[in-house]
Structure 1
Amino acid sequence: MMLTSLSAISPIDGRYRNTTAELANYFSEYALIKYRVFVEIEYFIALVEYPLPQLQQFDKTLSEKLRDIYRNFSEADAESIKEIEKTTNHDVKAVEYFIKKEFDKLSLEPFKEFIHFGLTSQDINNTAIPYTFKLAINNSYYPAINELVNTLKNYAREWDQIPMLAHTHGQPASPTRLGKEIQVFVERLEGQLQQLKSVSYSAKFGGATGNFNAHHIAYPGKDWKAFGNHFVNDVLGLSRSQFTTQIEHYDNFAAQCDALKRINNILIDLDRDMWTYISMNYFKQKIKAGEVGSSAMPHKVNPIDFENSEGNLGIANALFEHLAAKLPISRLQRDLTDSTVLRNIGVPVAHTLIAIKSTVKGLNKLLLNKEAISADLEANWPVVAEAIQTILRREGYPNPYEALKDLTRTNQQINGHTIAAFVDTLDISDAIKQELKQITPLNYTGI
């Protein structure tokens, strides 16, 4: 069976392929191979520019032709590397052999042994993978989450003056404003995004056990630490970890996973709130011609976008949790458990991207139902009890909380007339009575 959207095992590459296709540029097997080639080529060019004595005869004008190897990298090139891997049984060594063949085509045979010079495979993997992760976050994740945040900002401004009954513990509570409740999520998301952006994209580069052993034995007079820092930090735009084993210790990557997980938790909270507001009829949803909400109940327009988002965020967080907990742990100088786990880093990013786009889709369907919101406020006059008892406290009135408690916890219907009648019984000045009677669920919304 050929791999199609119908035969794919994962919904990422099946049902949701159109949503996640852009991530193939960063997390597919093809992408991993391409960026391994990229790192190997840039490493060779860095050695030429260092320079090493044996590379002084290299024609630096050929550097751009070398870069064309990864710039023009094709699926056919990736397939040829996979063919080499069948013999080597080693994926990074296959990349090295492929590049050596490309050197032959450019008549660069004398320089071939400086491809992958002094390196171990993790010097390539632990630079290529954070490089592609950085690309994915910058090019796919941030544009998507920024669209979501901007959508919320627009709603926060649009609904800034819409009074709304709040609910704490599921019960009517002091009124708020709808725009402010949306702004809560804006502030939370922006705060956590700032923390995510503050974490460096760390990379390992230092030979078989992180000490530049092979580099130093071949060229003891060279400052390989400075070279490694320049290559990783300046050429690749990553942050070189200074003391490592054979592999990156992944602590910063774990921090990024935790940050992404926190952002996803905020989105789950948002999805559930929007779902609940829809169930309360505070929002209706735009109807698209031809769409079906239920196979049995023709009237239904379900909040499926928020539900879809919540489900995908849960899967993403489970994987981010595992990545953050597992990757920083490796036996002694290295075991292989990180290798297979690293191949899955695109999966939680993909589920997150599906979720973000679903939430945005759901948000764009919302239709404010001011009538329902106002009716709910009008039906819950007891929420002004807090305001009345607070003013009575200000005036030194005895036991105001208890007086309002006795009024509002009865089974009688509490409305504006009931409140006004209660105020008239209080032993306070007419001015204070008038002040209290001006308070309604619609205007008791704070600042």
Structure 2
Amino acid sequence: MTSLQAISPIDGRYSSKTKPLVDYFSEQALIKYRVRVEIEYFIALVEHGLPQLKDISESKFQDLRKIYNEFSSRDAQEIKEIEKTTNHDVKAVEYFIKDKFDNIELSEYKEFIHFGLTSQDINNTAVPLSIKEAMEEVYHPALEDLLEKLEHLAQDWKDIPMLARTHGQPATPTRLGKEIKVFVVRLKEQMKFLQDIPNAAKFGGATGNFNAHKVAYPHINWKSFGKDFVQGSLGLHHSFPTTQIEHYDHMASLFDALKRINTIILDLDKDIWSYVSMDYFKQKIKKGEVGSSAMPHKVNPIDFENSEGNLGIANALFEHLAAKLPVSRLQRDLTDSTVLRTIGVPFGHTLIGFSSTLKGLNKLLLNEAKLNEDLEKNWAVVAEAIQTILRREGYPNPYEALKGLTRTNEKINKDSISQFIEQLDVSEEIKEELQQITPQNYTGI
């Protein structure tokens, strides 16, 4: 299958942007993570000193770990062939590993592969492990690249005055860099929340109670073993007690946090799109590019639109995942299984969104002349400053006086503001202070 035949655009048109996620969320990746958990579990049983495994030396651990460290597409395909017979994906992994044991002279220990486990002990460790590593190795670097760009722009534009707009109308001036800084701080705050969300895993047998483990080895503290394995060997948080499946509460919290981050970037996309439409930004033109099939003059803000669309799709899926996964009938139903397979899709759309926003930001060219022109056209915005100083001086009804001046259909400009100041019954010192205020310097702290 080529990218032209892919049904999903994340595997088709945008496959180059989502390729880093293949190692974490593809079918082959899921199979590999399952193999890895099974192998590490077997090693943990050996290390724990099960009597039947006492003759296995640590020198075998390297051979065991090669099974997943050198896992190939051919191995994944072999497991899929086994699954055609078993009609069970995790059981196929177990049989695959049993075959591998013959090659490393561990045949007599085959029955301790998947010992006492149910498939969800593998799925509910493999999936959060894949999410954890995808977050560390793909998601965070991509978000940090975008954040770094925004920080640079906030610094570069920190002294650029800009007419603000509230309710779409001219409002108290601000600075362009400060407005970008707002998004920087919002993203950093949400990134802190991400760090506090555990990557939780379930490991406890068919209904979460280590029943099979305890009946076979009643004197072993299996709860302690499970915690040590999940947290020590896999680096995940051990959820206990559970039903057959992990609660998914922490995973839902993660998806909600990712959705909030996407929403912040989506908000940024819309703001930048609006600034482009107001001509505050031009865009770098790439030779050969076409902005419109009919209008040759157009250079459209397509990157921000692309990001907005992809982040919207990602959020719809994250919202469904967060709402659905924590709900399961009694000790377990199968709905989580098929839903878990789609986790890579919202990550894919998120990655496309990040990439598109970053691409769009890199194409922006500041049009300072237009920003200054809009400030000059809106001298009425200094009315707030004037009436505030008049309040300070105890001037009677300053708000009403400025309201009378500014809420007329007559154009307010530098001259009309200056004339208004000169007719005020205040000292020359206060008049001089008021005359110094301009839309360009009334930008706060």
Candidates 193, 196, 200, aligned match of 2:194: 196
Structure 2 distance, partners of 1:251, 1:351, is: 23
SS of 1:6's equivalent in the other structure is helix
Match of 1:6 in 2: 4
Return 5+ residue gaps in structure 2 as ranges: none
Match of 1:146 in 2: 144
SS of 2:163's equivalent in the other structure is strand
What pairs with 1:167-186 in structure 2 (closer than 5 Å)?
A: 167-186=165-184
Structure 1 distance, partners of 2:308, 2:18, is: 17
Match of 2:327 in 1: 329
Deviation at 1:242, TM superposition (A): 1.3
Q: Deviations over 1:202-224 (max 9, x none)?
A: 00000000010000110011011
Structure 1 distance, partners of 2:104, 2:440, is: 77
Match of 1:21 in 2: 19
Candidates 291, 314, 335, aligned match of 1:316: 314
Match for 2:244: what amino acid? Q
Deviates more, 1:57-66 or 1:8-17: 57-66
Structure 1 distance, partners of 2:277, 2:430, is: 39
Deviation at 1:59, TM superposition (A): 2.4
Match of 2:268 in 1: 270
Candidates 380, 393, 398, aligned match of 1:382: 380
Match of 2:110 in 1: 112
SS of 2:442's equivalent in the other structure is coil
SS of 1:240's equivalent in the other structure is strand
Q: Deviations over 1:315-364 (max 9, x none)?
A: 00000000000000000000000000000000000000000000000000
Match for 1:117: what amino acid? F
SS of 1:9's equivalent in the other structure is coil
Structure 2 distance, partners of 1:63, 1:36, is: 17
Q: Deviations over 1:35-75 (max 9, x none)?
A: 10000000000000001000001122111001000011111
Match of 2:39 in 1: 41
Structure 1 distance, partners of 2:330, 2:366, is: 58
Deviation at 1:196, TM superposition (A): 1.4
What pairs with 1:285-434 in structure 2 (closer than 5 Å)?
A: 285-434=283-432
Q: Deviations over 1:151-175 (max 9, x none)?
A: 0000001000101000000000000
Structure 2 distance, partners of 1:178, 1:311, is: 25
What pairs with 1:76-155 in structure 2 (closer than 5 Å)?
A: 76-155=74-153
Candidates 146, 154, 157, aligned match of 2:155: 157
Count of residue correspondences: 445
Match of 1:218 in 2: 216
Match of 2:231 in 1: 233
Match for 2:378: what amino acid? N
Match for 1:398: what amino acid? P
Match of 2:282 in 1: 284
Q: Deviations over 1:162-199 (max 9, x none)?
A: 01000000000000000000000000000011101210
Return 5+ residue gaps in structure 1 as ranges: none
Structure 1 distance, partners of 2:97, 2:440, is: 71
Structure 2 distance, partners of 1:215, 1:364, is: 57
Match for 1:171: what amino acid? Q
SS of 1:208's equivalent in the other structure is coil
Match for 1:432: what amino acid? I
Structure 2 distance, partners of 1:442, 1:185, is: 23
Match for 2:263: what amino acid? N
Deviation at 1:109, TM superposition (A): 1.3
Deviation at 1:385, TM superposition (A): 0.2
Structure 1 distance, partners of 2:233, 2:422, is: 78
Q: Deviations over 1:348-396 (max 9, x none)?
A: 0000000000000000000010000001001000000000000000000
* 1:50 paired to 2:48: yes
Deviation at 1:287, TM superposition (A): 0.6
Structure 2 distance, partners of 1:279, 1:351, is: 25
* 1:255 paired to 2:268: no
Structure 2 distance, partners of 1:67, 1:413, is: 77
Q: Deviations over 1:229-268 (max 9, x none)?
A: 1110011000010110000000000000000000011011
Structure 2 distance, partners of 1:243, 1:289, is: 61
Match of 1:73 in 2: 71
Structure 1 distance, partners of 2:247, 2:240, is: 11
Structure 2 distance, partners of 1:106, 1:389, is: 85
Structure 1 distance, partners of 2:256, 2:105, is: 48
SS of 1:47's equivalent in the other structure is helix
Match of 2:436 in 1: 438
Deviation at 1:110, TM superposition (A): 1.2
SS of 2:299's equivalent in the other structure is coil
Supply the RMSD in Å over aligned alpha carbons. 0.5
SS of 2:174's equivalent in the other structure is strand
Structure 2 distance, partners of 1:166, 1:432, is: 26
Match for 2:115: what amino acid? F
